[in-house]
C-alpha cells in the first residue's frame, strides 16, 4: 500500500504578524510536500494579526493552488489556534495532523525523514536543535519536561516542540478533551501520549534564528505564560488521572517528601556539629601546630574554641583552604558552612547535569540523581556532620569540565581548590592522568607543595614533619570506616586492622595506576571506577559514599545491554539501596549497621563489575 497517496495529511500552521515571511514559508512547505507525493492540505490560521499577514497568505494561496487553505479567526493565542486546527483536521477526516510554526525557524528539510517513520508510530516529534535559547526559555523548557514526567510519565524530550506529526485516530479524543483556553496544549498532548503509551519517535531538526519579527512572548510575559502553562498542565493531569497515575503520584511524592525531610534533618543537625576542621585551621592561622594538639591530646588554650580538643586529620595545605572560615567565630562559621554545603551540592548537581545529561538528551532521567542523593543517608550525614566532600566535588567537577575544554590553567586552580577531602579527590583526580591532562595535575600538586612549605615556614616546622603528623592522625581513624579492608578486618575481630588498611592502600594505588594508564576509556566510567576504588582503598564513613553518584550517573546515561553493564546497573542499585538507606535497612533486618561488612562486599562487587566494563568501553563523553 502506498501510504503517501492513501493517507491524508493536514498541516496546521498558526500565524501571527508574520507578513514578511509567511508567503515564503508556505511556498517552501508546498514544494517539499509535493515532492514527497503526500496527499496534503496546508492550513495557515491567521490569529488576528495586526499586520498584513492574512493578505499575504491569501496571495500565496492564489499563487500556489488549492492545497493552501487559508483560515482566519479572532486572536486567541497560539494554544487556542493550534487546538482549533487540530479539531478541524480531525473533523474533516484527515489521517495525520502536522503542526509547525510560521516563523521559518524549522523548515521542511527533515519532514520527509519524519514522515517515513510514521507507519509504526503514533506521535513523531522533531526536537529543536542548534539554536541557542535564552536562559529563561531553557528553564521553562526544563520545568515543562519535569511537569510532564512527574504527572504523566516519561514522554518525548521536547514536550512543546512546534514540529510534531500526530496520528489523528490516536489523538482525536485528546483534541476534544482539551479546553480551547489551554495555553500550551502541545505540552499536555506530549504528556497524554506518555500516559496512554502511544508509540513515539523523536529526531533532531535544525532550528534557525528567526530572520524577521520577534517572539511574541518575552521576559516577564514569558514567566507569566509559563506559570499559566504549568498550572494548566498539572491541573489537567490531576483531573484526568487514573488509579495507576495516583499510585505514581503517591510514590514520587513520598520520595520527594523524604528528600525534603532528609535535607531539613541534615541541615538542622549540621548546626550542632563541629566536625569541619575549623579548630585545627584556626590553630594553624594562629601559628600553632594543630597536629601536636591531636597527637599529644593537648587542651586548646585559646579563647573562641567551642571544644577543648581537636582532631587535625587534614594535610596542612588542605587546612589552608579553610582559612576564610577562621576569620569568623566558630559557631557562626558552622552556620555559614552548612549554607555553603547546600550551595555546593547544587553546584555539583548542576555540573553533572551539564556534563552528562543536557547535551545527551537524558534530562528526563536526571531527576533521579538529586532525588537519590538528597533522600539518602550519606548526604544527610555529610551535612549533619559538617563534612567537606560537597566542597571538594563542587570544585572538582568544574575542574574536570575545564580540562575537557582545554582550559588547563583554570582546571589546575580548581583541582587544587578541590582538596578539602583529599582521600576522595586524589583517587578521582587520576581521571586527569587517564586523559593525559598533565598541566592541571602539575599545577595542583605544585600549589599544594608551595602551600605546605609555607605552612612549615609559618609554624617553624619541617613541611615533611607536618605531612607525616597529619598522616599519623589519619591512621588513628583507620578502623572507623565502613567499606575498606580495615572495616572488614574489624568486623571479623582481627587485631591488626592497620595492616589491612595499608594493604588496601597498596592494592588501591596499583588499581588506580593501572586504570589511569588505559587509553580511550570513557571518562565517566573511570570516575565511577576511581570513586569506588577510593571508597575501598581509604577508610570512609557512610557520608563519604556520596560519590556513588558517579556510578549512578553512569548507569542512567548507559544504554548498553551487555552482561557487564547489567551487572553494574544492579550492583549500583544494591549499593544505593543499602548504603543510602542503611539505617532503614538495618532496622528492618534487625541487625546493627556494622555487624556484617555489607558495604565493603557491595562496593567490591561493584568495583569488579566496573573493571570488567573498562576494556569494552570507548569514551562516550569525549566531546566538549
**The architecture CATH gives domain 3-241:** Alpha-Beta Complex (3.90)
Name the residue among 252, 558, 551 with its Cα closest to residue 375: 252
Task: Encode pLDDT of 115-145 as tens digits.
Answer: 999 999 999 999 888 766 666 677 777 788 8
Q: Is 234 exposed, middle or buried (0-12, 13-18, 19+ CB in 10 A)?
A: middle
Average pLDDT, stretch 348-366?
83
Q: If pLDDT is split at 50, 70 and 90, which confidence band does 200 have?
A: very high
152 pLDDT more than 60: yes
For residues 85 and 178, give the distance between their C-alpha atoms in angstroms, rounded to a whole number.
13
- What does the alpha-carbon distance between residue 344 and residue 351 come to, in Å, rounded to a whole number? 10
Q: Where are the alpha helices (DSSP H) in 271-329?
A: 278-285, 290-295, 316-321
Q: Which residue has the higher pLDDT, 3 or 249?
A: 249
pLDDT at 591: 60
Handedness of CA 23, 28, 31, 32 (dihedral sign): negative
- CA-based nearest residue to 126, from 140, 138, 115, 137: 115
Q: What does DSSP say about strands 8-15 and 96-100: parallel, antiparallel, or unpaired?
A: parallel
CB 371 within 8 A of CB 263: no
Residue 505 scores a pLDDT above 60? yes
Answer whether 602's CB lies under 8 Å from 579's CB: yes
Rounded to 5 degrees, φ, ψ at 72 are: -135, 140
Confidence at 219, pLDDT banded by 50, 70, 90:
low
Nearest to 82 by CA among 203, 190, 175, 201: 175
pTM, two decimals, is: 0.76
Report the alpha-carbon distance of residue 237 to residue 191 in Å, rounded.
Answer: 8
Q: What is the largest CA-CA distance in the chain?
A: 96
Residues 542-575 have pLDDT tens digits of 888 899 999 999 998 876 777 888 888 999 998 8
Quote the Cα angle for 274-276-281, to 5°: 110
Q: Where are the domains of the chain?
A: 3-241, 243-344+357-470, 477-624
Cα angle at 568 between 591 and 571, to 5 degrees?
10
For the chain, what is the mean pLDDT? 87
Question: Coil, strand or helix: which one is 167?
Answer: strand
103 beta partners: none
Measured between alpha carbons, how far is residue 241 from residues 230, 234, 272, 413 in Å?
Answer: 16, 10, 44, 52
619 Cβ contact partners less than 8 Å away, ≥ 6 residues apart: 520, 521, 522, 523
Q: Report helix, strand or coil for 202.
A: strand
Helix, strand or coil, per DSSP, at residue 610: helix
Q: Report the pLDDT value the prediction gives residue 73, as an integer from 0 to 100.
A: 93
Amino acid at each position: 500500500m502506498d501510504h503517501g497517496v492513501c493517507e491524508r495529511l493536514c498541516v496546521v500552521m498558526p500565524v501571527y504578524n508574520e507578513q514578511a515571511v509567511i508567503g515564503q514559508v508556505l511556498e517552501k512547505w508546498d514544494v517539499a510536500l509535493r515532492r514527497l507525493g503526500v496527499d496534503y492540505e496546508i492550513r495557515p490560521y491567521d490569529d488576528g494579526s495586526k499586520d498584513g499577514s492574512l493578505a499575504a497568505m491569501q496571495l500565496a494561496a492564489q499563487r500556489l493552488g488549492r492545497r493552501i487553505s487559508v483560515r482566519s479567526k479572532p486572536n486567541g493565542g497560539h494554544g487556542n489556534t493550534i487546538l482549533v486546527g487540530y479539531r478541524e483536521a480531525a473533523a474533516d477526516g484527515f489521517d495525520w495532523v502536522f503542526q509547525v510554526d510560521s516563523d521559518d525557524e524549522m523548515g521542511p528539510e527533515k519532514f520527509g525523514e519524519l514522515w517515513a517513520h510514521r507507519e509504526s508510530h503514533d506521535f513523531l516529534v522533531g526536537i529543536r536543535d542548534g539554536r541557542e535559547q535564552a536562559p529563561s526559555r531553557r528553564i521553562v523548557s526544563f520545568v515543562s519536561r519535569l511537569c510532564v514526567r512527574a504527572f504523566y510519565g516519561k514522554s518525548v524530550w521536547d514536550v512543546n516542540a512546534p514540529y510534531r506529526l500526530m496520528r489523528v485516530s490516536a489523538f482525536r479524543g485528546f483534541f476534544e478533551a482539551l479546553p480551547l483556553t489551554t495555553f500550551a496544549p502541545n505540552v499536555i498532548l506530549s504528556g497524554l501520549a506518555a500516559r496512554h503509551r502511544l508509540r513515539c519517535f523523536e529526531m533532531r531538526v535544525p532550528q534557525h534564528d528567526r530572520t524577521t519579527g520577534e517572539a511574541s512572548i518575552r521576559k516577564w510575559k514569558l514567566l507569566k505564560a509559563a506559570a499559566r502553562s504549568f498550572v494548566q498542565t498539572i491541573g489537567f493531569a490531576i483531573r484526568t488521572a487514573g488509579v495507576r497515575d495516583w499510585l505514581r503520584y503517591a510514590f514520587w511524592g513520598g520520595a520527594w517528601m523524604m528528600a525534603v525531610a532528609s535535607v531539613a534533618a541534615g541541615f538542622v543537625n549540621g548546626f550542632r556539629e563541629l566536625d569541619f576542621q575549623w579548630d585545627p585551621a584556626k590553630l594553624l592561622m594562629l601559628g600553632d601546630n594543630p597536629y601536636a594538639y591531636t597527637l599529644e591530646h593537648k587542651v586548646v588554650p585559646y579563647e573562641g574554641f567551642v571544644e577543648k580538643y581537636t582532631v587535625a586529620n587534614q594535610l596542612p595545605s588542605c587546612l589552608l583552604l579553610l582559612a576564610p572560615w577562621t576569620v569568623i567565630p566558630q559557631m557562626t562559621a558552622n552556620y555559614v558552612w552548612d549554607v555553603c554545603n547546600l550551595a555546593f551540592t547544587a553546584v555539583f548537581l548542576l555540573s553533572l547535569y551539564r556534563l552528562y545529561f543536557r547535551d545527551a538528551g537524558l534530562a528526563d532521567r536526571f531527576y533521579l540523581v538529586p532525588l537519590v542523593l538528597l533522600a539518602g543517608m550519606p548526604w544527610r550525614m555529610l551535612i549533619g556532620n559538617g563534612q567537606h566532600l560537597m566542597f571538594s566535588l563542587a570544585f572538582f567537577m568544574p575542574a574536570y569540565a575545564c580540562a575537557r575544554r582545554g582550559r588547563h590553567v583554570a582546571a589546575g586552580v580548581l583541582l587544587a581548590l578541590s582538596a578539602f577531602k583529599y582521600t576522595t579527590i586524589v583517587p578521582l583526580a587520576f581521571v586527569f592522568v587517564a586523559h593525559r591532562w598533565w598541566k592541571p595535575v602539575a599545577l595542583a600538586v605544585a600549589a599544594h607543595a608551595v602551600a605546605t612549605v609555607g605552612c612549615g615556614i609559618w609554624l617553624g616546622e619541617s613541611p615533611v614533619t607536618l605531612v607525616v603528623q597529619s598522616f599519623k592522625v589519619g591512621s588513628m581513624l583507620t578502623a572507623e570506616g565502613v567499606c575498606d579492608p580495615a572495616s572488614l578486618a574489624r568486623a571479623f575481630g582481627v587485631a591488626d586492622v592497620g595492616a589491612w588498611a595499608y594493604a588496601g592502600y597498596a592494592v588501591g594505588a596499583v588499581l588506580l595506576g593501572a586504570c589511569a594508564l588505559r587509553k580511550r576509556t570513557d571518562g565517566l566510567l573511570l570516575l565511577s571506577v576511581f570513586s569506588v576504588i577510593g571508597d575501598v582503598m581509604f577508610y570512609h564513613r557512610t557520608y563519604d559514599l556520596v560519590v556513588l553518584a558517579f556510578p549512578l550517573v553512569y548507569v542512567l546515561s548507559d544504554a548498553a545491554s551487555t552482561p557487564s553493564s547489567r551487572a553494574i546497573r544492579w550492583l549500583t542499585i544494591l549499593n544505593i539501596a543499602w548504603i543510602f538507606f542503611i539505617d532503614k535497612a538495618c532496622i528492618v533486618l534487625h541487625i546493627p549497621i556494622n555487624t556484617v561488612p555489607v558495604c565493603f562486599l557491595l562496593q567490591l562487587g561493584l568495583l569488579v563489575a566496573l573493571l570488567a566494563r573498562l576494556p569494552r568501553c570507548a569514551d562516550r563523553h569525549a566531546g566538549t
